[in-house]
Structure 1
Amino acid sequence: MEFSGTGSYIADKDLMVAVNAAIKLERPLLVKGEPGTGKTELARQVAEGLGLDIIEWNVKSTTKAQQGLYEYDAVSRLRDSQLGDPRVSDVANYIRKGKLWQAFAAGRKVVLLIDEIDKADIEFPNDLLQELDRMEFHVYETGEVVRAQVRPIVIITSNNEKELPDAFLRRCFFHFIRFPEAETLARIVEVHYPGIRHDLLRNALTLFYEIRAVPGLKKKPSTSEALDWIRLLVADEVSPDDLKVDPKTILPKLHGALLKNEQDLHLFERLAFMARRN
């Protein structure tokens, strides 16, 4: 079982090596990188490329590790007991399976995506150490042990918003997705928009990387934002010559797809003001 990319996902050699190493080692693959560099999409494309189902666990700031295993709905059981419902005699009726349980019980190899793990509390990764290492956990309410018969491919993404515990990192295979170079990004664009004019693509990417290189930019535009912007350029039939920046205006056409906060917008406005003064 080896991942070699898909027709709709451009993966460089280092990324494919990381995915396949994690599969062979049977360890979770921890993927970091700028937002919008395709970390979440990687898990979906690994599933597609290997012909596997994917189970996605989207982590939020309020997510607890226990929710990935199971949840016991004691409130519903109490209510049903008051109503005389015969289901209350079996506590298993009130156990809700989490994403890890679903992956462990699938009976076949699946891809388990734990998306944006750094959004949760700092203890969240520690609370999953044993479960991800041993691929089993105990259900205290029923006394059963849930064990993965077939070990899933676990892909964990992080936007690096907070540091992850060393004990957790030790159990993972790590890969950092670097922002693609212009040649690679051009290939990505051509996959999404086949037949795009080469002069438009060349001028758009030149301007895009110039914007990313501006000092003091709070949020650099990402790969996904580049795709959105180029999609708008194609839809509006923007001429490649119109993408040549006028220092007195400096703001690129349809800049709302690239600049996502007022601080960066004001930065470009100040640059334009300084250019006019000079």
Structure 2
Amino acid sequence: MRFTGTDSYVATEDLMVAVNAAIALERPLLVKGEPGTGKTVLAVEIARALGRPLIQWHIKSTTKAQQGLYEYDAVSRLRDSQLGEARVHDIGNYILRGKLWEAFEAPEAPVLLIDEIDKADIEFPNDLLLELDRMEFHVYETRQTIAARQRPIVVITSNNEKELPDAFLRRCFFHYIRFPDRETMERIVDVHYPGLKPALLREAMALFYDLRDVPGLKKKPSTSELLDWIKLLMVEDIDPEALRAKDNRKLIPPLCGALLKNEQDVHLLERLAFIARKEGR
């Protein structure tokens, strides 16, 4: 059971090593990298490549670790007791199973994605230490212990919005997805758009990486944004010559809304183009 990428996901050698090492060590794989580099999709592709079910837990700022285990719906039980419902006598009817419970009791070891763990409160990772380490937890209301039938493959993603606790990091196998170089990026584009004209690919890649190199950008365009942009270039049948970035007075690319996601970056390129025109370059 080894992950070697898929026909729709280009995995670098170091990424494949990291995934397989985490599986061999039975440790959660903690994946970091700038947004849009395929961290979330990685878990999807691992599940597809290994033929495993996928369970996804997308973390929000309000998410609590307990929700991944279970929640006790005391309000519903109180309401049912007032209505004289017979089910109120079994407290198990009011236990709502979380994603970890679902993963632990899956008939086949799944891939469990805990997505963007750094969005939650700083205590969130610490609150899952024992459960992810021992692969079990206790349900106090029903006095039962839920243990994993088979250890799931756990993939945890982070955008580095906040530091994760050392105790949590010690229990993970860590991998940072570096931004793809041009050769790897061309392979990624080829997977999604195999019929792309070579001239359009060449000019689009040159403009994309030139744009990422512009100093002062608040948000550099990512892989997913490049793919969206190329799709638009194909739909609009943009001439590759229109993408040539040799003239500094034409810094803003066509259909730039797919690449630039805030007004500060658009204004920055407009100022650079204005300065270039003023200097007569």
TM-score range, shorter chain: over 0.9
The 8 Å contact of residues 53 and 108 in structure 2, kept in 1 or not, is answered as no
Provide the alpha-carbon RMSD of the alignment: 0.6
How far apart, CA to CA, are the structure 1 residues paired with 2:102 and 2:109? 11
Q: Determine helix, strand or coil for the equivalent of 1:230.
A: helix
Q: Determine helix, strand or coil for the equivalent of 2:56.
A: strand
Structure 1 residue 59: deviation in Å? 0.1
Residue equivalent to 1:267? 268
Q: How does 1:85-124 map to 2 (within 5 A)?
A: 85-124=85-124
Q: Determine helix, strand or coil for the equivalent of 1:100.
A: helix
How far apart, CA to CA, are the structure 1 residues paired with 2:18 and 2:194? 28
1:231 pairs with 2:231: yes
Letter in 1 for 2:20: N
Structure 1 residue 163: deviation in Å? 0.2
The 8 Å contact of residues 204 and 230 in structure 2, kept in 1 or not, is answered as yes
1:190 pairs with 2:190: yes
Structure 1 residue 107: deviation in Å? 2.5
Q: Deviations over 1:196-232 (max 9, x none)?
A: 0011001100000000000111100000000000000
The 8 Å contact of residues 135 and 148 in structure 2, kept in 1 or not, is answered as yes
How far apart, CA to CA, are the structure 2 residues paired with 1:92 and 1:108? 24
Residue equivalent to 2:179? 179
Counting aligned pairs with the same residue, the percent is 71
Unaligned 5+ runs, structure 2? none
Residue equivalent to 2:134? 134
Q: How does 1:6-155 map to 2 (within 5 A)?
A: 6-155=6-155
Q: Deviations over 1:113-151 (max 9, x none)?
A: 000000000000000000000000000000000000200
How far apart, CA to CA, are the structure 2 residues paired with 1:205 and 1:32? 24
Q: Deviations over 1:89-119 (max 9, x none)?
A: 1000000000000000113210000000000
Letter in 1 for 2:229: W
Unaligned 5+ runs, structure 1? none
The 8 Å contact of residues 111 and 154 in structure 2, kept in 1 or not, is answered as yes
Q: Deviations over 1:48-79 (max 9, x none)?
A: 00000000000000000000000000000000
Structure 1 residue 9: deviation in Å? 0.2
Q: Determine helix, strand or coil for the equivalent of 2:220.
A: coil
* Number of matched pairs: 278
How far apart, CA to CA, are the structure 2 residues paired with 1:155 and 1:146? 20
How far apart, CA to CA, are the structure 2 residues paired with 1:78 and 1:5? 50
The 8 Å contact of residues 27 and 173 in structure 2, kept in 1 or not, is answered as yes
The 8 Å contact of residues 22 and 173 in structure 2, kept in 1 or not, is answered as yes
Q: Deviations over 1:217-257 (max 9, x none)?
A: 11000000000000000110011101013322321111111
Q: Deviations over 1:139-178 (max 9, x none)?
A: 0000000000200000000000000000000000000000
Deviating above 6 A after TM superposition, structure 1's stretches of 4 or more consecutive aligned residues are none
Q: Which TM-score applies when normalising by structure 1?
A: 0.99
Letter in 2 for 1:112: L
Residue equivalent to 2:255? 254
